[in-house]
Chain A
Amino acid sequence: GENVEQHPSTLSVQEGDSAVIKCTYSDSASNYFPWYKQELGKGPQLIIDIRSNVGEKKDQRIAVTLNKTAKHFSLHITETQPEDSAVYFCAALGPLNNAGNMLTFGGGTRLMVKP
């Protein structure tokens, strides 16, 4: 089945700096890659996603890039702010299970933005 690896597990940056989180996936058939932000005590929030027919997508300070050949994708946060501090999860839409489709999640990155 699909395997998603995420690095780093923790990331500390100074406010205003950029943060980059990287993920690799194993199944070349995967075609959808969302990113989630989970704040303490809350459920994961979908912040951006990318499909395999594009290489980059931006939404204000957040961007995601995808390299299908290398099977890796990355989340870029520019001009980080303290409210960006959270755990971020990448995911890949992997092979079909009996019910249809299944997201496989990376291990998570704890981002800390220091004021």
Chain B
Amino acid sequence: SAVISQKPSRDICQRGTSLTIQCQVDSQVTMMFWYRQQPGQSLTLIATANQGSEATYESGFVIDKFPISRPNLTFSTLTVSNMSPEDSSIYLCSVDRRGGAGQYFGPGTRLTVL
């Protein structure tokens, strides 16, 4: 497994602002992912964070709304831009060392937008 930390653990933000969430892993990993978990719901993949290149977004998610950086093999950020109350969710990063199997999740960032 891997030790994954996220900052902040929670935040309350005003409509129209942006929040950047950080994900740090204790060792180099091949793949990092960002998920959204809306209240009481399952996990939905936002994008795959690619080291040294643009992230790969899933259907329904766009770079302007969720810009992602991955400057190295242990760190990534997700920004939630121009927030609205509908963005209130838990945002989770995950890592995968085994090329598509064995994903491990961070503790999540609980975001509330007023």
Contacts and interface: CB of A to CB of B under 8 A. Distances in A.
Of A36, A49, A98, A99, chain B has the most CB atoms within 10 Å of the CB of A99
Interface stretch (A56-64, A73-81, A102-110): A102-110
Interface string A23-63: 00000000010101000011111100101000000000000
Interface of B: 1, 4, 31, 41-45, 48, 50, 56, 58, 92, 96, 99-108, 110
A93 B100 contact: yes
Contact of B100 (A42, A100, A105): A100
B92 A43 contact: yes
Q: How large is the interface on A (under 10, 10 to 19, 20 to 34, 35 or more residues)?
A: 20 to 34
A101 B100 CA distance: 5
Contact of B102 (A46, A98, A106, A107): A46
A34 B96 CA distance: 13
Given A42-B108, A44-B105, A51-B101, 18 more contacts: A42-B107, A43-B106, A43-B108, A44-B43, A46-B1, A46-B103, A89-B43, A93-B100, A93-B101, A97-B48, A97-B56, A99-B48, A100-B31, A100-B48, A100-B99, A101-B101, A102-B58, A103-B45
A77 B110 CA distance: 29
Given A105-B42, A105-B43, A49 B102 contact: yes
B105 A89 contact: no
A106 to B, nearest CB: 7
Nearest to B109: A43
